[in-house]
Structure 1
Amino acid sequence: MTAAPSPRPTRTLHPALTAFVRFVICGGGVGVASSGVLVLLQGTIPLAVANALVTVVSTVIATELHSRVSFRSGRRGWGVHLQSGLTVAVSYAFTTGALLCLYALRPEPSALLQQTVYLSASALAGVGRFALLRIVVFRDRGGVASDTSGAHRAPLGKAAVAMAA
């Protein structure tokens, strides 16, 4: 008799890498939509005002997506939105600064160049936001760990640790 072949070990990604992939997909989707809205608003209102409006609306949407999908956190509410919004203040300054520098160098850039600068600045700011959101806003609270499915489990007590040893 031949033994059935053993199943191949499955590779699992580090939880931070998995969360980052989800973060990029959710945030990237919102970011691409935001850049399109900026193009639509171009010439109708000042750039800084348009970027501020787009930033506020996209932050609310992205925070909900990140809470539920990227970090699979149970944290909800306006407190989370406020904390996330603070991370966006730096992103707003960074993306607006990048666009203002572009306009200083090229007073009438093409839409492609404008979008390239905006999306590049947004991507760099996004990496910083991911770190802050993961470490500060959606970090595990009170020793409760989040697994990759988003379910929460209680920490092991001393007796359980002693039994496992």
Structure 2
Amino acid sequence: METTLSQQQAVPGTFTAFARFVLFGGGVGLASSFAVAALASWIYWGLANALITAASTLLATELHARFTFGAGERATWRQHAQSAGSAAAAYAVTSVAMLALQQLVAAPGVVLEQVVYLSASAFAGVARFAVLRLVVFRRSRSQAAATVRAARHVHATAACTAIPAGPVMLSRAA
């Protein structure tokens, strides 16, 4: 019974899930930037970026499935595909923002470029979080109810086994 509870984790609240999303996604993103630079010293940068992006998306999806959204199990192929789709959409948002900046401002400075890029990334990140939480890693009501029932059952069983079954005899030691 305890195995059932340990395998089925409760769904974390929105704030907790978002903090984990930032931690895991940001950590993987940061590590990826170093990995691309290292790999690009051996192969063409575009290929290095594509390989690291694919690997980091797979890794981040696994981390989000297991820890961020409370599933506690491996991501399915469907979840990997949906996560990759949301990552591609986020990439498109940042690319369109940067292209729009180039069209609107003849010679944008580095600071303006960073403000636009980071703003678009933040917007895309929040949107991606919502898609992953509400669509990709959404747990049905029956799954959530089963988790709660399993937790209650384990706690009730533990409480019952902790209470002695028969009358308690108190004796005085001589």
Q: What TM-score do the two structures reach when normalised by structure 1?
A: 0.60
1:121 aligns with 2:111: no
State the shift of 1:85 in Å. Answer: 1.2
Which whole-Å CA distance do the structure 1 matches of 2:37 and 2:118 have between them? 12
State the shift of 1:141 in Å. Answer: 2.8
Which whole-Å CA distance do the structure 1 matches of 2:106 and 2:126 have between them? 27
Task: Name which structure has the greater RCO, CA cutoff 8 Å, separation 6+.
Answer: 2
Q: Do the aligned residues in 2 keep the contact of 1:51 with 1:92 (CA within 8 Å)?
A: no
Which whole-Å CA distance do the structure 2 matches of 1:62 and 1:126 have between them? 13
> In the TM superposition, what are the counterparts of 1:78-93 in structure 2 within 5 Å?
78-93=77-92
Cα deviation per residue 1:52-86 (whole Å; 9 max; x = unaligned)? 55543332121111111111213522111001111
1:70 aligns with 2:29: no
Which whole-Å CA distance do the structure 2 matches of 1:36 and 1:113 have between them? 24
Secondary structure (helix, strand or coil) at the match of 2:142 reads: coil
> In the TM superposition, what are the counterparts of 1:1-165 in structure 2 within 5 Å?
15-36=13-34, 45=45, 54-73=52-71, 74=73, 76-101=75-100, 105=105, 110=110, 117-141=116-140, 143-145=142-144, 153=147
Q: Which moved more, 1:123-132 or 1:98-107?
A: 98-107
Secondary structure (helix, strand or coil) at the match of 1:143 reads: helix
Taking only aligned residues, the RMSD between alpha carbons, in angstroms, comes to 3.7
Larger Rg: 2
Which whole-Å CA distance do the structure 1 matches of 2:68 and 2:48 have between them? 27
Q: Do the aligned residues in 1 keep the contact of 2:36 with 2:45 (CA within 8 Å)?
A: no
**Gaps spanning 5+ residues in structure 2: where?**
1-11, 151-174
Instruction: Give the number of the structure whose residues are more often helix, by fraction.
Output: 2
Q: Do the aligned residues in 2 keep the contact of 1:87 with 1:129 (CA within 8 Å)?
A: yes
Q: Do the aligned residues in 2 keep the contact of 1:144 with 1:155 (CA within 8 Å)?
A: no
- How many residues get paired? 134
Q: What TM-score do the two structures reach when normalised by structure 2?
A: 0.58
Residue 53 to residue 119, structure 1, CA distance change in 2 (3 Å): farther
**Gaps spanning 5+ residues in structure 1: where?**
1-13, 147-151, 157-165
